[in-house]
Chains A and B, each alone.
Chain A
Amino acid sequence: MLRALDGVSFDLSPGAFLTIFGANGAGKTTLLNILSGLTRPTSGTAIVAGHDATRGDPHLMKKIGVISHASCLYADLSPLENLVFYARMYGLEDPEDTAVKAIERVGLKARIHDRVRTFSRGMLQRLSIARATLHDPEVLFLDEPFTGLDPRASSQLKEYLRALHTGHRTILMTTHDISCGLEMSDRVAVQVKGRFAFLEHIDNVEKNGFEKMYLEMMG
């Protein structure tokens, strides 16, 4: 049996921003899937925002937001229709008003009634952020959010993520983009074959040294 995760153990205080680096197949997405309650681990525990993520607790879902490879948006609906739908699923007051405000925050008001199918990758990613943060979650999971974005869209996304990292919102991101990850987070980890091979506070990490060490770990 292949172990996707093995002995991963860490804790994050509210407001922390942890970036996990790792090669494809290192188990980063599996880790996020377990923490967000999408996948049940064969053993171990995962407490997120005070809830056991391994038990499929619906209360956990009110406290987390997830941005994954998939946009989780209905291609033939407009941004407004998509977000009104998700607002109703979260049981939010005034779904339409909440959806409009979320769309305005990510700068897509001009396209509010267009079909999502016509959106670029960058616009989809911004709308995904609006979807994932519609209910103002305490914890945000970002699975390689910069994949497939051009430099301009990447830079825009960085700004949105910075704006989201306020107050006590905890963010856990996986990425291959070393400079971006080091720039945005306050803790960094490197995952190799399902294990954390490195976990440090950003103050103890020097960019060039980290890059060299990371490449050596990747072989």
Chain B
Amino acid sequence: MRQYLNQVTAIIWKDFAVELKTRELFSTMFVFAVLVILIFVFTVDLSIVNVNEVGPGILWVAFLFSGTIGLNRSFMLEKENGCLQGLMLTPIDRTALYFGKMLSNLAFLLIMEALLLPLFMVFFNVDLFRNLGSLLLVILIGTVGFCALGTLLSSLAGHLKTRDIMLPILLYPLIVPIAIGAVRMTSKVLMGEPLSEMWNWVGLTLSFDIIYIGVSIMTIDHVLEE
């Protein structure tokens, strides 16, 4: 177990070391997310719509689209110079490889989301502090599901020549339940409802998180096989 955790943390450490040197992944994700938010700020007349209803959808579109860019880039890093082959030649359990990549994707996306929230608050004039704890929990469970499925599918699409287009095609239809749950919960949180009033949505999103992680553990061995 100690060796397993050591391998998972080594992958996360390596991904952060590469990112600290290149700053490619994070900057691309963040700039893209800001652009998505800005486009909606300028195209939606915020004076005639209920921001608490429209804003969460825009926020999650920014999270998911920029997250997809991150997932694509994250797996390309492993394909460059045959690094994935190098990893497969070490005595690593393939689920450790999956969890290492998933947790580093999750960490990058959560940092990006944390930086995007203040901008969202300013541009859409919403008070995120009113129910901040619940909001952060909602964002966490939505992002976990996205990264759980996205990491599996990016490793699957990584073997294809058309991986840049295949990942969104595979990912977006399957992420719909989590996206709907996350948007609905975010909307309710912004309207001041406590989490206890939305257990059905919390339960649905958490269930999909667990399902996607479970499916990934069961299939990653075959997905990574050449």
B130: interface (CB < 8 Å): no
Top 5 nearest A-B pairs by Cβ distance?
A: A70-B82, A72-B86, A88-B10, A89-B90, A61-B91
B13/A76 in contact, CB under 8 A: no
Smallest CB separation, A120 vs chain B (Å): 14
B85: interface (CB < 8 Å): yes
Interface of A toward B, CB cutoff 8 Å? 33, 36-40, 56, 58-59, 61-62, 64-66, 68-77, 81, 85-86, 88-91, 115, 131
A85/B226 in contact, CB under 8 A: no
> Chain B residues near A89 (CB, 8 Å)?
7, 10, 87, 90-92
B81/A38 in contact, CB under 8 A: no
**Given contacts A85-B10, A88-B6, A89-B7, A73 and B93 within 8 Å (CB-CB):** no
Contact among B7, B83, B89, B225 for A73, CB-based, below 8 A:
B83
> Chain A residues near B3 (CB, 8 Å)?
91
Smallest CB separation, B184 vs chain A (Å): 40
> Chain A residues near B10 (CB, 8 Å)?
85, 88-89
A68 and B14 CA atoms in complex are apart in Å by: 22
B-side interface mostly: helix
Smallest CB separation, A66 vs chain B (Å): 5
B91/A58 in contact, CB under 8 A: yes
**Given contacts A33-B226, A40-B225, A86-B90, A72 and B82 within 8 Å (CB-CB):** yes
Tally of chain B residues near chain A (CB < 8 A): 27
**Given contacts A88-B10, A89-B7, A38 and B82 within 8 Å (CB-CB):** no
B18: interface (CB < 8 Å): yes
B85/A68 in contact, CB under 8 A: yes
A57 and B88 CA atoms in complex are apart in Å by: 11
What are 17 inter-chain pairs, A to B, with CB distance below 8 A?
A39-B226, A56-B221, A58-B93, A61-B89, A61-B90, A62-B91, A64-B89, A69-B82, A70-B86, A72-B81, A72-B83, A72-B86, A72-B87, A76-B22, A81-B17, A86-B86, A91-B3
B14/A85 in contact, CB under 8 A: yes
Smallest CB separation, B213 vs chain A (Å): 22
Count A-B pairs with CB separation below 8 Å: 82
Which positions 43-94 of chain B face chain A at CB distance < 8 Å?
A: 77, 80-83, 85-93
> Chain A residues near B13 (CB, 8 Å)?
85
A68 and B37 CA atoms in complex are apart in Å by: 45
B82/A77 in contact, CB under 8 A: no
B21: interface (CB < 8 Å): yes
Smallest CB separation, A61 vs chain B (Å): 4
Smallest CB separation, B78 vs chain A (Å): 9
Which positions 4-51 of chain B face chain A at CB distance < 8 Å?
A: 6-7, 10, 13-14, 17-18, 21-22
Which residue from chain B places its CB closest to the CB of A95 in the assembled complex?
Answer: B10
A91/B86 in contact, CB under 8 A: no
A125 and B19 CA atoms in complex are apart in Å by: 25
Smallest CB separation, B128 vs chain A (Å): 35
> Chain A residues near B21 (CB, 8 Å)?
76-77, 115
A70/B85 in contact, CB under 8 A: yes
A91 and B80 CA atoms in complex are apart in Å by: 24
Which positions 175-224 of chain B face chain A at CB distance < 8 Å?
A: 221
Smallest CB separation, A214 vs chain B (Å): 29
B88/A38 in contact, CB under 8 A: yes
